[in-house]
Amino acid sequence: MGKDSGVTMTIDRFAILISTMFFLSLLSCSTFAQIGSSPGAYSRMGFGSRGIGMGNAFIAMTTGDITGYYNPAAVPFSKVRSGLLSFGLLDLDRSLNFLGYTQSLRGTAGISAGIINSGVSDIDGRDGDGEQTGPLRTSENQIFLSFGTQIKPQLGIGVTIKFLHSHLYTDVTSTTVGIDFGAIYVVDDDISVGLVVKDINSKYAWDTAPIYGQNGGTREDEFPLRFGAGGTWKLPDSIGIFSVDVEATNKKTIQMRAGLEVPIIPEVVVRAGIDRIDLKESGAGVKPSIGFSIQRDIGDWVPSIHYVFVLEPFTNSGIHVISLSANF
């Protein structure tokens, strides 16, 4: 292939990415999401720069960096061992960090483990008289372990166990366990489809007796139960990968997500997506994203750096997520 052909292909791929973002932006002009304020919102923001960069439309993804976060059935399709360290830059003194590891087991099974940490710091604490008592903080954490296996070469199933811990206030914490189930079917070399059921039994169980004594009480805040279906399509001539997910919840919401990943050159990949396209209501709560990855082979190692910018609808600035990963 000549130099001019390579430049033309690069321009064409940029055009595809820009056109897709324009189309998705049109969809976002009159959409919003209802479950953002429900318990466990941090756990629905995505995992790492790649997934977030594609609008979290990852239910049926079986190529590239794989994690059990989106669908535990994807884990056995991973061809390499991979590790991920990621952190987010958010306003309003918020934090969002990720740590993950995925490994195949004898070719037909795999495991994936990860940690999600989120919280708010520098909260102005005051007593009943309005006097300052010092800064406060809250934190929410999820530790997950996924296992998946291929019951047929084209069909994978999996399960994720999630340990949820939240620190709301001094001596007020919650530790519970949630479960995800998933399945993926690889139709052919270009198309795969997936199903998930997420956050079964996920909830926060609070007990304020340590603070208020006999005046305290107990309460449970349940996470939305989510049912998702998705598909991925490898575009012709290795132009890229397009993915789309639809998710319904027991809160009577139906949302769509979509993403596109385009390799510009072997070492550079760009991606764009949009999350929280609400199919039932109208408003302005979608989250478009755009990012890139740069990787370089070093022997048997393939280290990468990833970046994504997410436009949040209800804050003064967006989210920046930076990830470091390595396949080996």
Residue spans per domain, the chain: 3-327
Q: Which of 10, 100, 11 is nearest to 50 (CA)?
A: 100
Question: What is the per-residue pLDDT for 2?
Answer: 52
Question: What is the per-residue pLDDT for 30?
Answer: 43
Question: What is the per-residue pLDDT for 14?
Answer: 53
Tell me, rounded to whole angstroms, the distance of Cα 209 from its chain centroid.
Answer: 35
Q: Which of 53, 47, 58 is nearest to 20 (CA)?
A: 53
Model confidence over 86-113: pLDDT tens digits? 999 998 788 999 999 999 998 899 999 9
- Please answer whether residues 112 and 161 qualify as being in contact, where contact means their C-beta atoms are separated by less than 8 angstroms: no
Q: Which of 118, 109, 101 is nearest to 325 (CA)?
A: 101
Question: What is the per-residue pLDDT for 175?
Answer: 95
pTM, 2 dp = 0.88
Q: What CA–CA distance (Å, rounded) separates 83 from 65? A: 9
Tell me the mean pLDDT per 10 residues along the chain, length 328. Answer: 52 56 51 66 94 97 94 94 94 91 92 96 79 84 98 97 92 94 97 98 92 84 97 93 96 93 95 90 76 93 96 83 95
CATH number belonging to the domain at 3-327, selected among 2.40.30.10, 1.10.10.10, 2.40.160.60, 3.40.50.740: 2.40.160.60
Q: Is 51 helix (H, G, I), strand (E, B) or coil?
A: helix
Question: What is the per-residue pLDDT for 210?
Answer: 83
Model confidence over 4-49: pLDDT tens digits? 555 455 555 555 555 555 555 555 444 444 566 789 999 999 999 9
Question: What is the per-residue pLDDT for 300?
Answer: 87
Q: What CA–CA distance (Å, rounded) separates 11 from 75? A: 34
